[in-house]
Chains A and B, each alone.
Chain A
Amino acid sequence: MVEAGLREGPYPRTERGEEILRVEGLVKHFPVTRGTFFKKVAGLVRAVDGVSFSVREGETLALVGETGSGKTTVARCVLRLIEPTAGRIWFMGHEITGLSRKELRQVRRSMQIVFQDPYASLNPRMTVRSILAEPLVVHGLYGRDGVKRVEELLELVGLNPEHANRYPHEFSGGQRQRIGIARALALNPRLLVLDEPVSALDVSIQAQIVNLLEDLQARFGMTYLLIAHDLGVVRHVAERVAVIYLGKLVEVGTREQVYETPLHPYTQALLSAAPVPDPQKERERKKKRIILAGEVPSPLSPPPGCRFHTRCWKAEALCKQVEPPLVDTGEGHLVACHFPEAREVL
């Protein structure tokens, strides 16, 4: 029903399980400038520093990391909302790095984004109808069926189509996030980048949105790249998980691999630090909790060698000198550590 009135995007559908997105050696450096008139580059924020991964059709890959880890920068580079400094990105077999703006527009029909803040990402002066119509109009797809399509979209995300003429402020946070999702769905995308889609919402509303996203994925076979810091939500939603620290991936694996047998000390520390809503369990976990010393170093001057060595309890001389590559330890479980060792922390 939803596909009605919409032509296929520029790329033919591939089989589920085939690679839909491939990122290789992605680098994004932001220059830090000094001075007002004679701007001088005083340093580089190495937000993303050589990230490679791929996402298969129909799956959900979560990119997990703390503030400043570069996870959102990766997402924006994938959509080419910002230009990568280096690296290559393929979407459905076509390289999209280096495409012109016009060519990009075609690609963007098939990859859309849902933003974190449902308050900031909807134009307060536009009605919901015009917010949802905009992507269709931009791509010349509004036509005769446009009105129907907008109503369809609202129904799809669990909103009343009769509310199409209302403004964003008339909706609650959860409802606004539904509008953001409906907008992202308007063009029948194949890949949805979800940038912290529930972290601004209350717990009881979060669960509604998580269920909605899962229903939509089951129905349309969409692929999700989920950017998140909430390890509970990630375990529930993602089939594969990539952990990022200071602009580099430290571990990639299936949900089971990463949660049940994490190999990287940072992954172990993250999982160990996150609290669990069970008093008895928490009492036990607290005794074994890995509390990392210090804070995340500045991405302006990341530590040499392994970037995690300044906070790692296992660090040795080697870690300070040689950067560990991300290698497959078997069955697609990748880790970047000189001394990986599975450890149960949950």
Chain B
Amino acid sequence: MRDRKGGGAVPGEPLLDVRGLATYFWTEDGVVKAVDGVSFQVFPGERFAIVGESGSGKSVTALSVMRLVDRPGKIVAGEVFFEGRNLLELDEEEMQGVRGAKIAMVFQDPMTSLNPVFTVGHQIMEAILLHQKVSKAEARDRAIELLKEVGIPRAEERIDDYPHQFSGGMRQRAMIAMALSCQPRLLIADEPTTALDVTIQAQILELILGLSEERGTAVILITHDLGIVAGFAERLMVMYAGKVVESGSVEDIYYHSLHPYTWGLMGSLSRLDMKRKDRLEPIPGTPPSLIFLPPGCPFHPRCRYRVEQCRVETPRLLPYTDSHWVSCHLAGEFLEARAGKEGAV
């Protein structure tokens, strides 16, 4: 199952199966519908990406899966099946057995997710001792091994360093070591390289990719960067205003996208690998307020293909091929138009 590439029919049982997830935040200004009816599946060993701009709900989706949403936020609907159990029905103690041990998470800013007053080694050992029945000495050996595995030079010495003695890239490596300490089946990486420079970003992505392949760990990569997804993920979903607008294999989305928002994202990119085109084609306007969502399709105010139906009826996420799901009233027409064009050629 692990060598499944890209699209095609999906074999086997999903590792993670999220159905109709909705997470709202109660603020002074009103109810923020950060995640509003999100469904997706991640298969064992798979690398899946959630792509979206700020406020699209991609991070809240991940936090909801981990059940780390705090007041004033609340998961209001949906199911999150992991290895067949609905995580939303577990009590806090059971959930702690999942968090860190079976599903681990790496965050954007490693400086704020590491505790500055404890050594790096102490924090990794803590994670090991919490979930595994080993002695302190064994945990320390294991932590050194992990630091070596994530490419920290002189791990035997560096294990006693404090986080501030590590560079940004090394801190992120330490976070990954900690996340992998209990051999989770799923690693959620929330913008793991956004704070890093491009040469360090390449190192970290290579590291996560290699570890995922070696260990068969499934990875959910959350990012706004369509460039890093292209080289990292097998499948992805694109989110906008708390909803999934499109999901499929990287080929489906990068070469055969059927959603105007995805086209808009691609048209907005200044490409490093292409000679300058005349003008970028940005998406007009700004994303909607998540408190006062427009009726119908949340993207319709910025969409140049909108028809009357888009203003009144919210489109559902529907399959157009085995692997490619789209939430747009016009997706069928786009598909036909493309088939017509290809037929003519």
* Residues on A facing B (Cβ under 8 Å): 66-67, 172, 174-175, 202-208, 210-211, 214, 229-233, 235-237, 255, 259, 269-271, 273-279, 281-283, 285-286, 289, 291-292, 295-296, 346
Bound complex: CA A324 to CA B296 (Å): 62
Residues B41-57 near A (CB distance < 8 A): 53-54
Interface residues in B256-283 (C-beta closer than 8 Å to A): 264-274, 276-277, 279-283
Question: A207 is contacted by which of B54, B168, B280 (Cβ under 8 Å)?
Answer: B280
Interfacial chain A residues near B250, Cβ < 8 Å: 279
A115 vs B66: C-alpha distance when bound (angstroms)? 37
B225 at the interface (CB under 8 A from A): yes
Cβ-defined partner of B268 (8 Å) among A172, A203, A235, A276 = A203
Q: Is the CB of B282 within 8 A of A202?
A: no
Q: Is B197 an interface residue (CB 8 A)?
A: yes
Instruction: Contact check, A270 vs B198: say whether CB atoms are below 8 A apart.
Output: yes
Residues of A within 8 A of B265 (CB): 203-204
Stretch at the interface among B30-38, B95-103, B157-165, B226-234: B226-234
Which residue of A is nearest B203, CB measured?
Answer: A291
Q: How far is the CA of A229 from the CA of B225 in the complex (A)?
A: 14
How far is it, in angstroms, between the C-alpha of A277 and the C-alpha of B251 when the chains are bound? 11
CB distance from A76 to the nearest CB of B (A): 20
Given A229-B197, A236-B271, A292-B203, 20 further pairs, Cβ under 8 A: A66-B199, A67-B197, A203-B268, A204-B53, A206-B268, A206-B282, A207-B267, A207-B268, A207-B281, A211-B282, A214-B279, A274-B272, A275-B225, A276-B231, A277-B226, A277-B230, A277-B254, A285-B231, A286-B231, A295-B167
The 6 closest A-B pairs by CB, nearest first: A207-B282, A275-B227, A282-B231, A207-B268, A236-B270, A273-B202
Closest Cβ neighbor of B226 among chain A residues: A277
> Are B198's CB and A229's CB within 8 A?
yes
> Which of B231, B251, B271 is A232 in contact with, Cβ under 8 Å?
B271
How far, in Å, is B9 (CB) from chain A's closest CB? 19
Q: Contact: A204 with B283, CB < 8 Å?
A: yes
Q: How far is it, in angstroms, between the C-alpha of A206 and the C-alpha of B264 when the chains are bound?
A: 12
Dominant secondary structure at the B interface: helix
Residues of chain A with a CB closer than 8 A to B230's CB:
275-279, 281-282
Quick one: which of A202, A203, A208, A211 has the most chain B CB within 10 A? A203
Q: Which residues of B contact A282 (CB under 8 A)?
A: 227, 230-231
Establish whether residues A271 and B272, one from each chain, have CB atoms under 8 Å apart when the complex forms: yes
| Whole-angstrom distance between the Cβ of A174 and the nearest chain B Cβ | 6
Name which residue of chain A comes closest to B234, CB basis: A279
Would you call B282 and A205 a contact (CB within 8 A)? yes
- B270 near A274: Cβ-Cβ < 8 Å: no
The verdict on A291 contacting B198 (CB below 8 Å), with A206-B268, A235-B270 known, is no
- With an 8 Å Cβ cutoff, the count of chain B residues facing the other chain is 48
Chain B residue numbers with a CB within 8 Å of A172 are 286
B314 close to A (CB within 8 Å): no
> Chain A binding site: helix, strand, loop or mixed by DSSP?
helix
Q: Is B192 an interface residue (CB 8 A)?
A: no
Given contacts A67-B197, A236-B280, A270-B199, contact A276 B227 (CB under 8 A): yes
When distances are taken between beta carbons in the complex, the residues of chain B under 8 Å from A203 are 53, 224, 226, 265, 268-269
B108 at the interface (CB under 8 A from A): no
Q: How far is the CA of A277 from the CA of B229 in the complex (A)?
A: 8
Q: Which residue from chain B places its CB closest to the CB of A346 in the assembled complex?
A: B273
Cβ of B206 < 8 Å from any Cβ of A? Answer: yes
B273 touches A276 (CB 8 A): yes
Distance to closest chain A CB from B296 (angstroms): 20
Taking the complex as formed, is B298 at the interface, i.e. its CB lies under 8 A from any CB of chain A? no
Q: Bound complex: CA of A202 vs CA of B51, how far in Å?
A: 12
In the complex formed, the residue of A with least CB distance to B228 is: A275
Given A204-B265, A207-B282, A279-B231, A235–B276 Cβ distance below 8 Å?
yes
A259 vs B270: C-alpha distance when bound (angstroms): 14
Task: State whether A273 touches B273 (Cβ < 8 A).
Answer: no
